[in-house]
Each structure stands twice: as structure tokens, then as C-alpha cells.
């Protein structure tokens, strides 16, 4: 076992450097972190996708289009993480290392850009639902949603394409492959380009829309409380309960997802800017900030399952269906056992 681990550490770049820890311990730590995250991301997003397909009530929300798009993007992130996972668990394959680094970094960056753009579109969708409730169905149609999702994928693919032509690194750090860490350097101009045309606009849209959403909801709550104080009747209570409270609760769920996204990605973005400016270069910080940001692909599943009651109901029904099908198969085997084969003379 120790010899195989030593062989792994010889072939791989282990960016973490914690002084008194050996290179073998660092490689084992990296392997555990990446394998665990890969498993959690794939399992969690597969669960979200199955629940959305099995819970019709979730399709009543137009944001379900963007939530499912994020789930598929995060699932592909987990599948893409199989590349460093397999490279840590096995010997390097015959694939050219530089090409593998470039493709892997590009795919991860595109997928996370899709998630970021979907969060911005979700905030705009909730803003329209609360500010323009009467004309919302005419403004937001399934056809327009599909066009918007297609544009998100196209834009995300195009914005990181210059990295293939030597103009900087798309933003993937915590490099597992040695070529990525030593030969593929970040570029301050390309980093500024990504920040100006992706990170900053998405953050501005999200801050603007959620600020106005909660401002409107707070005003609405204040009006309801004033009405209850003046006219304490059941009619006012019923009218207040059917107001913006469902939209506000759903907006809070999406706001939690957005907040966790930026909390986990903020250290990565800061380190990305510092490394591009040649102010800070730390392999340990590079690894930790990168995989902290990638862990967001699993956190979305946890937040949505804990915060949304309709999603929890769909998850419960899905688990009950799976358990009942397993129980039916066991009962069938008990009722109709398979006949045993008679031993022939040859076997005797």
C-alpha cells in the first residue's frame, strides 16, 4: 500500500505545502477531499434532478427551469471532477497533460459561469414576479425561458474561449497536474475581462433585484400590520396571508442559495485576482479556495432540500416509491420463490 501511494505522489503535483507534513500525506489528503466532493456532488444533483422530474408541483415555478439547469451544470462539475480523481487514484494516462489541463479548466469555468448566470436570472425572475404580478405570465413564458437558458450556455462558452488562444488562465486553481501549476499562468488582463463581463454584472444584478424584492416585501408586511391594527378581522388576516408571503418565502430560499454561492466563491475570486496580479502565490490557498468553491455544487442541493417544503415533499415521495418497489420485489420473492435446479449426475 505504501509503495503504491509513493508511486502516486511521484506522478502527481501536490500543491499543498504544510511544512511538517510529508508529500505522501498531502496527496492522501487531496485524494480524500476530491473523491468525497466528487461523490457528494454527483449523488446530490442526481437526487435534485430526479425529484424535479417526479414532483409536478415544482414545475409551477418558472424558476424551476433555472434550478434544473443549475443542477445539470453542477452534475457535470461532479463528472468533470472524475478527471483529477482518477488521476490521483491511478497512474497518468497517455493523454497529453497540457491539453487535459486546458480542457478541464475550461469546462469547470463554463459550468460555474452557467450557475452564476442562472442565479442572476432567478433574481430577475423573482423581481418581475413581485413587481409586475399582473403582466408576469405575459413577460415570462416557457419559450423565452428556454431562449434565455440557451443564451446562458452560449455566453458562458464564449467568454472563456480566449484561454485556448494563450490569453491567460480561465480561473482554475488548486492544480492537480503539474503543467497547470507551473506552465499555465494567470493573466491580469484576462482576469479583469472575466470580472467585468461575468462576476461584476451578475453580482450587481443580484444585489439590485434582491434589495428591491425585500424592500417591497417589507413595505407589504408593514401595510398588512397597519390594516390589522385598524381593522382586526379575519378578512384582513386572510388577505394578508394570501399576499406576497409565498413569493417572499420562495425568494428567501433562492436568496440563501445565492448567498452561500457567493460566500463560497468569494475567497476563490479574491485569490484569483491576487494571483493574476502577482501579489500572492500560495499553493495551499489555491487548492483550498478552489475546492471550497467547487463544493458549492453540493451545497445547492442541501439548501434547497432543507428550505423548500415542496421539494421535501417530492423527495419523500420519491424515497417512498423506491422503498415500496424494493419491498414489493422482496414480497414477490417470498411468495414465488425460484425453483432450485436439480443436481445432475455430472455435478454429483
Residue pLDDT, tens place only, 304-339: 666 666 677 777 777 777 777 666 666 565 555 555
Residue 18 in any domain: the answer is: no
Q: CATH number, domain at 125?
A: 1.20.1070.10
Residue 204 in any domain: the answer is: yes
pLDDT value, residue 8 = 40
Query: Residue 118: which domain range?
Result: 28-229+247-330
120 touches 202 (CB < 8 A): yes
Residue 124 CA to residue 327 CA, distance in Å, equals: 45
Residue 19 in any domain: the answer is: no
Most confident of 77-86, 132-141, 164-173: 132-141
Of 130, 62, 59, the closest CA to residue 310 belongs to: 59
Residue 336 in any domain: the answer is: no
Residue 2 in any domain: the answer is: no
Residue 95 CA to residue 188 CA, distance in Å, equals: 29
Of 70, 103, 99, the closest CA to residue 296 belongs to: 70
User: Helix and strand tally (H, E) in the chain?
Assistant: 15, 0
List the grid coordinates of 29.
489528503
The pLDDT confidence band at residue 153, using thresholds 50, 70 and 90, is: very high
Q: Lowest mean pLDDT of 151-165, 207-221, 239-253, name the range.
A: 239-253
b/e code 26-43 from CB counts within 10 Å (16+ = b): bbbebbebbbebbebbbe
Per the structure, the count of domains in the chain is: 1
Residue 7 in any domain: the answer is: no
Give the Å distances, CA to CA, from 281 to 33, 109, 182, 187, 199: 21, 20, 11, 13, 22
Residue 56 in any domain: the answer is: yes
332 burial level (CB within 10 Å; 0-12, 13-18, 19+): exposed
Handedness of CA 229, 233, 235, 238 (dihedral sign): positive
- What does the CA dihedral 103, 109, 115, 119 come to, rounded to 10 degrees? -160
Residue 337 in any domain: the answer is: no
127 touches 206 (CB < 8 A): no
pLDDT 10s digits, 78-120? 888 887 767 666 545 445 777 878 888 888 889 989 988 998 8
Q: Lowest mean pLDDT of 117-121, 166-170, 202-206, 288-292, name the range.
A: 166-170
Residue range 235-259: mean pLDDT, rounded = 61
Residue range 128-150: mean pLDDT, rounded = 89
List the grid coordinates of 39.
461523490
List the grid coordinates of 176.
492537480
Q: Is the pLDDT of residue 52 over 90?
A: no
Amino acid at each position: 500500500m505504501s509503495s503504491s501511494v509513493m508511486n502516486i505522489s511521484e506522478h502527481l503535483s501536490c500543491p499543498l505545502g504544510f511544512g511538517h507534513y510529508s508529500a505522501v500525506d498531502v496527496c492522501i489528503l487531496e485524494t480524500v477531499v476530491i473523491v468525497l466532493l466528487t461523490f457528494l456532488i454527483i449523488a446530490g444533483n442526481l437526487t435534485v434532478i430526479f425529484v424535479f422530474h417526479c414532483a409536478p408541483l415544482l414545475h409551477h415555478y418558472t424558476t424551476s427551469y433555472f434550478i434544473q439547469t443549475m443542477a445539470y451544470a453542477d452534475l457535470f462539475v461532479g463528472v468533470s471532477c472524475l478527471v483529477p480523481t482518477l488521476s490521483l487514484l491511478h497512474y497518468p494516462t497517455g493523454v497529453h497533460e497540457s491539453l487535459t489541463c486546458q480542457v478541464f479548466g475550461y469546462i469547470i469555468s463554463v459550468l460555474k459561469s452557467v450557475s452564476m448566470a442562472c442565479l442572476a436570472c432567478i433574481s430577475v425572475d423573482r423581481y418581475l414576479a413581485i413587481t409586475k404580478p399582473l403582466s408576469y405570465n405575459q413577460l415570462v413564458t416557457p419559450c423565452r425561458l428556454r431562449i434565455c437558458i440557451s443564451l446562458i450556455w452560449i455566453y458562458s462558452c464564449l467568454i472563456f474561449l480566449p484561454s485556448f488562444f494563450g490569453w491567460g488562465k480561465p480561473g482554475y486553481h488548486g492544480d492537480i497536474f503539474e503543467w497547470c501549476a507551473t506552465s499555465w499562468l494567470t493573466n491580469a488582463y484576462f482576469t479583469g475581462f472575466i470580472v467585468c463581463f461575468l462576476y461584476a454584472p451578475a453580482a450587481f444584478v443580484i444585489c439590485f433585484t434582491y434589495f428591491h424584492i425585500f424592500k417591497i416585501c417589507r413595505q407589504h408586511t408593514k401595510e398588512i400590520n397597519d390594516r390589522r391594527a385598524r381593522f382586526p378581522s379575519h378578512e384582513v388576516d386572510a388577505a394578508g396571508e394570501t399576499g406576497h408571503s409565498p413569493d417572499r418565502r420562495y425568494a428567501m430560499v433562492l436568496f440563501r442559495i445565492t448567498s452561500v454561492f457567493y460566500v463560497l466563491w468569494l475567497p476563490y475570486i479574491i485569490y484569483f485576482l491576487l494571483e493574476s496580479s502577482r501579489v500572492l502565490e500560495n499553493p495551499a490557498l489555491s487548492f483550498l479556495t478552489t475546492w471550497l468553491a467547487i463544493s458549492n455544487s453540493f451545497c445547492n442541493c442541501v439548501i434547497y432540500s432543507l428550505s423548500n417544503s415542496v421539494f421535501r415533499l417530492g423527495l419523500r415521495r420519491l424515497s417512498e416509491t423506491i422503498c415500496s418497489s424494493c419491498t414489493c420485489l422482496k414480497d414477490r420473492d417470498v411468495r414465488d420463490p425460484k425453483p432450485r435446479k436439480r443436481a445432475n449426475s455430472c455435478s454429483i
